[in-house]
Structure 1
Amino acid sequence: MRMKTTSFQVLVAILLLLSVQTTIVVVNCLNIALNDDVLGLMVFKADVQDPYFHLSTWKEEDDSPCKWVGVTCDPYSNRVTELHLDGLSLSGHISKGLLRLQFLQTLSLSRNNFTGDLNNPTLIQLIKNSQFVDLSGNGFSGFIPDPVFTQCGSIKSISLASNKLTGQIPNSIASCLTLQNVDFSSNQLSGGLPNDIWSLTSLRSFDLSNNFLDGEIPKEKIESLFDLRVFNLSSNNFSGELPDKIGECLLLESVDFSNNYLVGTLPVSLQKLSLCNVLNLRGNYFAGDLPEWIRSLKSLEIFDISVNNLTGLIPASLGDLESLKSLNLSLNQFTGKLPESLVKCVNLSVIDFSRNLFTGEIPGWVFSLRLKGVYLSGNLFTGNVEFGEAAAGFNSLEILDLSSNSFSGTISSSIGNFSRLILLNMSQTSLIGSVPSSLGGLKAANVIDLSDNRLNGSIPNEIGGAGSLVELRLDGNFLTGSIPDQIQNCSDLTTLVLSRNNITGMIPVDIAKLTELECVDLSFNHLSGGLPKELTNLTNLVTFNVSHNDLEGELPLGGFFNTIPLSSVSDNPSLCGSIVNQSCPGAHPKPIVLNPNPSHSDHGSTSLNMSHKRIILSISAIIAIAAAVFIALGVIVVTILNLHVRNSISRSAAAALTFSGGDDFSHTRSPSSDYGKLVMFTGDAEFVSGTNALLNKECELGRGGFGVVYWTALRNGRSVAIKKLHVQSMSKSQEDFDREVKKLGKIRHSNLVLLEGYYWTPSLQLLINEYVSSGSLYKHLHEGSDENILSWRERFEIILGTAKGLAHLHQMKVVHYNMKSANVLIDCSGEAKVGDYGLAGLLPSLDRHVLSGKIQSALGYMAPEFACQTVKITEKCDIYGFGVLVLEVVTGKKPVEYMEDDVVILCDMVREALDNGRADECIDKKLKGVFPVEECVSVIKLGLVCASQVPSNRPDMEEVIKILELIQCPSEGQEEIE
């Protein structure tokens, strides 16, 4: 018995020893694995710049990384499964160290500054090994790697948004059937969607917005997207119609196809989207009526179908959308009255019906609901503006824009009860009566615009009660009285426009206390007295216009007033100072004038002076009169010249507001770059001194019909050319302007000046272009020195390069409209780059009269069809201008030259010489070196063909390029001129 017990004990002891050894082995293996995670993360950290020391808790001596910032481990194995390092300002590149994290499932590095080509083995392997990948908001470049989606493993979610990715979406993505969330938004992707993209039946969220994608949206199998919740293809170049069966994706909650080129009517299947709360189709070309079945979208909270071609009446069924928070139908052609049924939409926060054809009076429900934003501008509304009791509206309304309508009557004093109102715009509405003193009750108001009405009376002193005012516009009325002193209480005021009224009195000294003032326009009034010297304290002034008043005395000296434009103080005959070129009189006693008839009574003297008045003038008086006449003539001449360069910052508004409910209804009107919208197509950039530096005349490069071009530098030291557009002609809305400029920004060609971005406010519109250092072709031909004359080979290459650039524009369906040598720039290598293309598209409509006025400087380049109202303006107009430019390059002569007794038209002169066999005599005599005369003559003939009076006789630009390439291959025995 004792023997068995002993044997049993030995056996137990052996088993216990083996168990301990096994445990030690397991623990050792686990420690090795944990150390492998530590090593991998430390290798990753070594390649990363961490300016704010967020990764300071990562220490290589730690046995486990599970307590490190951003690291999540499995609670059982203690292996790293998730890495979240979002928004830590990290930079550098992603090292191979992360490949050691064998159990990593989630990799999130969004909103950092990582760079590098996405198409590298490390990133490809990391993405394939993970289930959830978020690399958004960095600086990754290159193509989306095709291998990521071939044998993609178990990847479920991938976000590469807000990087610098280019190229097409790889077709292999359709084979990655595990994908649930795809976000490639805000990159520079191009091409169409893969045909089999809807094979991804597990998709829940699909976002490709803000790219350069084009083509039609695939229609096949779209109904198979059973789980799709978010569908966003906005801000691309998609065309065609919406897929008919899109409504079969029954779980859709958010649909955004805004800012594309979609056409047709709304698919009937959309009515099945009973769970949809966001439907945004803004900025397309949808036509037809708004259908009655819209009532089926019971969950809809945001509905935006603005900037389309929709017509007809607003259906009463729209009022059945009781969940609606934001409704935007602006910039369509809707007619009739606003439906009363909308009173049922008690959750509405923002309505925008602006720029349509609505008629009738504003219904009472507009002010009875708890709306925050009301946009009704640009319609045909009539009658009085009645706020009624408006109990709810008084406590909620923040934006009220009723401008550009046909109201009658006065402004109700109850306007002052809108205690939260931030922007009030009732300009151009035919209102009469006085400016209500209750405006002083708008304590929160940033903008009050009552311009271009028929208001009378004086500006109420109570206006000073609106202490938050940033912008006050009362111009274009019949206001009288003086500028109230209480305006000094509006300490945040940046814009004060009171022009075109009948205001009298002196300019209050207290205006100088408004140190934030940037734009002041008091022109065309009857102001008198002097300009307060304290105005020089206004250091932020950009414009200060007091022209056409009765001001007198010396102009202030210092600050802005040392360089104030003459046009801003003109037609004030008694003003003096160096700016108006009139010296101020000293403290001399008035001259004594002797009466030549002292015996007459006062009455008799008056009668005599009325009949044949005699005045003895001193020599100094004669000189003064002569000087005054001379100055007056100078003022008139300079004023006329300055009409073309009047400062475009003449209208502005307050900062944008973003309302709750998910949509952005921002209206920004301010001359300050702080309130503008800067968009860069080639990466982030910032002006060295802000946009106001562009007003520096010393940086001016040139000017034309569409605006003035300035040189400036970005923060990174790179030079760019900024075109400041003439605002009065570029009158499109921000949405239309954005769309047109983005279209131009997508054009890329070595012979085209690159449009790098733009800056927009209603009062200041800038195009940011590639800076081409060697100037325009016009300057090389007509203003260069004899030492820098272009050789024939240089001229030929310029002609060929210009043709290639213009051909690419025509392939992109863009008409230049303003083809001339001043718009062809030469880079440092002698390459031609066509600039200023497509600017006519920024006009509100292609009005021939306006367009001709814009390009009148292109005299001689304009095709004859510009003068014919019935002929369509096409690419053939550009080809005519190109033909004239070719002749200009070969001959060295301007398209139109004014001689002493004659006007010489280049086309006519060259055509006549060719007919008489003297074409070689037209070649520029300044050409140096040896060149083939036959090649020159062939180019002349091509130029004349392109400049044919009949559009159909002109070749297209692709044909022109082929002809030039044939001409460039000289045959033997060509005659050469030396």
Structure 2
Amino acid sequence: MTSFSNDPNTNATGYDGSVIASTVIIFVVVTLAVKIWIIVCVCNKVKKHTQQQYSDDSRFIPLTMVKFLDDMEREKPIRFTSEQLRLATDNFSFLLGSGAFGTVYKGLFTNGTAVAVKVLYGTSDKIIEEQFMAEVSTMGRTHHFNLVRLYGFCFESSLRALVYEFMVNGSLDNHLFKASERPILGFEKLDEIALGTARGIAYLHEECPQRIVHYDIKPENILLDSNLCAKVADFGLAKLCNRDNTHITMTRGRGTPGYAAPEVWLPLPVSHKCDVYSFGMLLFEIIGRRRNYMDVGLGDSQQWFPIWVWGKYEKKQLKDVMDVCAIEEKDHESVERMVKVALCCVQYRPETRPTMSIVVKMLEGALPVPESLNPFSYLFSGVIEVDDSLARLAWNGGGTDWSSSGVISKSIVVAETPLMTKYEITMASE
């Protein structure tokens, strides 16, 4: 005869309650373990697939590029896949513009961030890789309000691209040379744009761990955000250099004719002062709101605008510049300051040009702008190069209160010379 225990922990069937509880706990633990195992397997599979994708692609990428990409991933820019960028740009359907090294498309990520995706191309993989490394290595390490922000990049066999923040107001050239297509910017705003651009270049030259020389400062490479604040962009020709190096080794000509300094195109030593020259040419175009080489209502003579401005400045007739460029009287002081800064920046000898930090202070009005030497005397036959000792003194800590009145000889301004034609100094490319 079966006997039943009187133990209250024993149920009617004869099983101990603690045994049932233990069984339930074990079941729950096993179930959780199985679920965790499934999740781990799925994650490993995805990770393996991604690694395999990059591994397969790396067969087509040189080892130097693989190392470079690994280094840059540690510098914060995001490495996107080609599929991510195709989705963001709707298969590259919204064209923003194109240049010598790439085509730019507008994109939109799922989090609502608008981007500009620059797809690189060139005549060889070597050129594309140089362009890629120049832009990523510079922009990936720089952070400044007046520089376009680099979000990330893609480097696969099927797509080499750079992902930048989207600038809703486009590039400065559209506002200067195509004013009929958009509201005209007042000179006060143009003055702010010039100052912001100068600050961005000064940061590249003097505040980065390594000096960065841009080589291609021009209106097309100055982008404007929603508040029309200037952002320096397009670092495809940029070069990193140690601050101790006085000059830079050039393997080939860089920059755009009409903006590039003479030493870039001539067999002369090159330094970061080539950006200062280009910025000076940019200032002339901001003042005139047109390309430097275009006629500005000067009669039958198609004089180069910077030389024409110098002639008016030398004769103390800057009022003529204001009239021709339709500049209001209230902006007279700002324009005069900008003209004087531009003339200082485009001096023939690099050592007679100011540093960009000095340019910023002069544009801000914190430093007086010295009277300029004739920056174009080298273009005229029969003109002896003037003594530049005063300029050297001014830009190397010897003060800025000097005048060129005693050292500049008068010269007849001509429209063009063989030297100007040969090196395309007077022409700015479209």
Q: Which runs of 5+ in 1 are unaligned?
A: 1-60, 72-83, 90-109, 112-136, 138-654, 659-663, 670-675, 970-978
SS of the residue aligned with 2:145? coil
| Residues 968 and 62 of structure 1: CA distance in aligned 2, closer, same or farther (over 3 Å) | farther
Partner of 1:681: 77
Is 1:833 aligned to 2:223, yes or no?
Answer: no
Structure-1 separation of matches of 2:237 and 2:274: 15
Distance of 1:963 and 1:665 partners within structure 2 = 50
Match of 2:275 among 878, 881, 885: 878
- In the TM superposition, 1:27-42 aligns within 5 A as none
Is the contact between residue 939 and residue 964 of structure 1 (CA under 8 Å) also seen in structure 2? yes
Matched letter for residue 721 of structure 1:
A
Alignment partner, residue 91 of structure 2: 693
CA distance in 1, matches of 2:152, 2:139: 10
Aligned partners of 2:54 and 2:28: how far apart in 1?
45
**CA 708–903 in structure 1, closer or farther in 2 if over 3 Å, else same:** farther
What's the counterpart of residue 108 of structure 2?
A: 713
- Structure 2 length normalisation: TM-score? 0.61
- Name the CA distance, whole Å, in 2 between partners of 1:815 and 1:707: 20
Is the contact made by 1:706 and 1:725 (CA closer than 8 Å) also made in structure 2? Answer: yes
User: Within the alignment, does 1:936 sit opposite 2:331 as a pair?
Assistant: no
Name the SS of the counterpart of 1:910 in structure 2: helix
Asked if 1 retains the 8 angstrom alpha-carbon contact of 2:345 and 2:354, the reply is: yes
Please give the secondary structure, in 2, of the residue aligned with 1:847.
coil
What letter corresponds to residue 957 of structure 1 in structure 2? M
Q: Secondary structure at the match of 2:316?
A: coil
Give the superposition deviation at 1:934: 2.0
Superposition TM-score, scaled by structure 1 size? 0.29
* Cross-structure match for 1:910: 309
Q: Find 1:815's aligned residue among 205, 213, 218.
A: 213
**Distance in 2 (alpha carbons) for counterparts of 1:769 and 1:688:** 15
The letter for the 2-side match of 1:779 is: N
Counterpart check, 1:847 vs 2:251: yes
Contact conserved, 2:154 with 2:161, CA < 8 A, in 1? yes
Judged with a 3 Å threshold, the aligned counterparts in structure 2 of structure 1 residues 838 and 704 are, in CA distance, closer, same or farther, namely closer
Distance 1:721 1:750 in 2: 17
User: Which amino acid in 2 is paired with 1:827?
Assistant: D
Tell me the equivalent position of 1:790: 185
Q: Does structure 1 conserve the Cα–Cα contact (< 8 Å) formed by 2:134 and 2:235?
A: no
> Does the CA contact (< 8 Å) of 1:919 and 1:937 recur in 2?
yes
Give the C-alpha shift of residue 771 in structure 1. Answer: 0.8
Report the secondary structure of 1:788's partner residue.
coil
Matches within 5 A, 1:52-451: 69=32
Secondary structure at 1:955 match in 2: coil
Whole-angstrom distance in 1 between the partners of 2:26 and 2:278: 75
Distance 1:665 1:891 in 2: 50
Matches within 5 A, 1:714-863: 714-728=109-123, 731=126, 737-738=132-133, 741-761=136-156, 764-785=159-180, 788-810=183-205, 811-812=207-208, 813-841=211-239, 846-849=250-253, 851=254, 855=255, 858-863=256-261
Q: Secondary structure at the match of 1:768?
A: strand
Is residue 945 of structure 1 aligned with residue 344 of structure 2? yes
- Which stretch has the larger CA shift, 752-761 or 954-963? 752-761
Ranked by relative contact order (alpha carbons within 8 Å, sequence separation 6 or more), the top structure is 2
String of CA shifts for 1:14-45, please: whole Å, max 9, x gaps.
xxxxxxxxxxxxxxxxxxxxxxxxxxxxxxxx
* Equivalent residue number for residue 961 of structure 1: 360
Q: Which residue identity is paired with 1:806?
A: I
Which residue in 2 is equivalent to 1:667? 60
CA drift of 1:690 comes to: 6.9
User: Are the counterparts in 1 of residues 60 and 157 from structure 2 also a CA contact under 8 Å?
Assistant: no
RMSD over equivalenced CA pairs, Å: 4.2
Q: CA deviation at 1:837?
A: 2.2
Deviations 1:542-572 (A, max 9, x none): xxxxxxxxxxxxxxxxxxxxxxxxxxxxxxx
Distance 2:347 2:130 in 1: 38
Instruction: Supply the AA of the counterpart residue of 2:273.
Output: K
Distance 2:283 2:130 in 1: 38
CA distance in 1, matches of 2:258, 2:116: 27
Q: 1:951 to 1:752 in 2, by over 3 A?
A: same
2: CA distance, partners of 1:909 / 1:821: 21
Residues 516-563 of structure 1: CA distance to partner in whole angstroms, max 9, x if unpaired?
xxxxxxxxxxxxxxxxxxxxxxxxxxxxxxxxxxxxxxxxxxxxxxxx
- Write out per-residue CA displacement over residues 577-612 of structure 1, whole angstroms, 9 at most, x where no aligned residue: xxxxxxxxxxxxxxxxxxxxxxxxxxxxxxxxxxxx
1:684-722, CA deviations, whole angstroms, 9 ceiling, x for partnerless residues? 68225377822x4xx222222322222232343422112
The alpha-carbon distance between structure 1 residues 85 and 908, as it changes in their structure 2 partners (threshold 3 A), is: farther
Counterpart residue number, 1:893: 290
Distance verdict in 2 for CA 1:927–1:763, change over 3 Å: farther
Indicate conservation of the 8 Å contact 2:191/2:334, yes or no: no
Are the equivalent residues in 2 in contact too, given 1:860–1:905 (CA < 8 A)? no
Is the contact between residue 106 and residue 115 of structure 2 (CA under 8 Å) also seen in structure 1? yes
Deviation digits for residues 287-330 of structure 1, max 9, x if unmatched? xxxxxxxxxxxxxxxxxxxxxxxxxxxxxxxxxxxxxxxxxxxx
Unaligned runs of 5+ in 2: 1-23, 48-52, 63-68, 241-248, 369-430
CA contact (8 A) 1:891 1:923 kept: no
Q: Secondary structure at the match of 1:822?
A: helix
Relative to structure 1, the CA distance from residue 783 to residue 924 in structure 2 (aligned partners, 3 Å threshold; closer, same or farther) is farther
**Equivalent pair of 2:361/2:367 in contact (CA under 8 Å):** no
The 3-state SS of whatever aligns with 2:303 is strand
Give the Å deviation of 1:928. Answer: 7.1
Contact 2:138–2:212 (8 Å) recurs in 1:
no
Q: CA deviation at 1:929?
A: 6.3
What amino acid is aligned across from residue 940 of structure 1 in structure 2?
V
- Quick one: distance in 2 between partners of 1:757 and 1:871? 34
Task: Quote how far apart the aligned CAs of 1:890 are.
Answer: 2.0
Q: Residue in 1 aligned with 2:412?
A: none
Q: Which residue of 2 aligns with 1:152?
A: none
Q: One-letter code of the match for 1:755?
A: L
Q: How does 1:916-931 map to 2 (within 5 A)?
A: 916-923=315-322, 931=330
Q: Which amino acid aligns with 1:912?
A: G
Residue type of the alignment partner of 1:875: H
User: Matched residues in 2 for 1:711 and 1:750: separation?
Assistant: 21
Change (3 A) 1:734 1:913: closer
Deviation at residue 935 of structure 1 after TM alignment? 2.5
Structure possessing the higher radius of gyration over alpha carbons: 1
1:706-752 deviations in Å (ceiling 9; x for gaps): 22222232343422112222321561586995586244322111111
Q: Which amino acid aligns with 1:681?
A: P
Relative to structure 1, is the Cα distance of residues 738 and 64 closer, same or farther in structure 2, using a 3 angstrom cutoff? farther
Give the distance between the partners of 1:786 and 1:764, measured in 2 at CA. Answer: 33
State the distance in 2 between where 1:924 and 1:785 align: 20
Indicate the SS of the match to 1:689.
helix
CA change 1:730–1:890 in 2 (3 A) is: farther
Residues 1:916 and 1:929: Cα distance change in structure 2 (over 3 Å): closer
Using a 3 Å threshold, how does the CA distance of structure 1 residues 902 and 926 change in structure 2: closer, same or farther?
closer
